[in-house]
Amino acid sequence: MKEQTVFSTPWFNIVEKYSLNISDDPFYSLQTLDYINVLAITNQKEILLVKQYRPAVNNFTLELPGGHIEKNQQPEQAAQNELFEETGYLANNLDLLGILNPDVGRMTNKLWCYYTGDMSIANKWKPEKGIEVVKYPIQQMTELIDNKQFSHALNLAVLYLAELKDVLSIIK
């Protein structure tokens, strides 16, 4: 397969690819850093969510803590960092739930899905501008999903992985 970067930004590259076996026409994919998401559950059986404005959908969203894995950073360290930066919690232990492909039709990156139920609150934490921490009872998550208040497909995939691994039970 022949490929070349045809457009580049600090956040992503657009890569043109030619596959001799499929078509003579180019195929374009989006190349970006891998993502992480953390399903963090408090001792009070609440899921830590973050509320923030997302310009791409022109709306405030509720999401699991997460972000990009920076170059030369290990996924687990990125998960630790994002959880702390966005919520002020420190994970004493992280379990990898799985590694997913966010969009096999257009994107080349991976989504690393983590779980923690073993956390402590950091003594020194400064909230990120524009991010609000929301603690939501596990047993009421289906309401958020049904009401389309928690609709990020990649976050829903993390919840599904947690259900499969018996880490979480929100499905009735």
Predicted TM-score (pTM) of this structure: 0.92
**Rounded to 5 degrees, what angle do the CA atoms 80, 85, 89 make?**
65
* Structure confidence by residue, pLDDT tens digits, 115-139: 999 999 998 999 889 999 999 999 9
Q: Is the pLDDT of residue 172 over 60?
A: no
* Residue of 99, 131, 97 lying closest to 112 (CA atoms): 99
In angstroms, how far apart are the furthest CA atoms of the chain?
Answer: 58
- The DSSP symbol for 88 reads S
> Other C-beta atoms within 10 Å of 15: how many?
18
* Residues 159-168, mean pLDDT to the nearest whole number: 92
Q: What is the mean pLDDT of the chain?
A: 94
* Structure confidence by residue, pLDDT tens digits, 76-115: 999 999 999 999 999 999 999 999 999 999 999 999 999 9
* Structure confidence by residue, pLDDT tens digits, 15-29: 999 887 778 899 999
C-alpha 44/C-alpha 153 separation (Å) is 26
C-alpha 6/C-alpha 124 separation (Å) is 43
Sheet holding 66-68, edge to edge: 66-68, 35-40, 111-116, 95-100
C-alpha 111/C-alpha 69 separation (Å) is 9
Domains and CATH numbers, the chain: 1-31 (no CATH), 33-164 (3.90.79.10)
